[in-house]
Amino acid sequence: MRVRIERGGGITGEVTTVADYDTADLTVDEATRVREAVADIATVAETGGEVGADLPIYRIIADGEVHTISGEPPALRAPLSVLLLD
């Protein structure tokens, strides 16, 4: 699974790629955690996130499927941390 995470929005609106990798390059355990985190992100994305012109926007692209979340809702923290391979 190819995973790419972009962060944009905020005051400048600049978009930056903060992660870009393929789970084939990870251990089986790491790849499993990433797949689970992507599923969690899809659930968070359904809520749409917070509203505000200066909030960050995260775009998570996993195997061509795009999930966009505005703001930093608490439910985003754990799966995003996994996807950033922290």
CB atoms inside a 10 Å sphere around CB 5: 20
Count CA atoms closer than 13 A to 48's CA, side-chain side. Answer: 3
pTM: 0.86
Q: For the segment 63-86, what is each residue's pLDDT rounded down to a tens digit?
A: 999 999 988 888 899 999 999 987
Per-residue pLDDT of the chain (86 residues; tens, 9 = 90+): 999 999 998 777 799 999 999 999 999 999 999 999 999 999 988 876 677 777 888 999 999 999 999 888 888 999 999 999 87
CB atoms inside a 10 Å sphere around CB 54: 10
CB atoms inside a 10 Å sphere around CB 51: 8
Amino acid (one-letter) located at 32: T
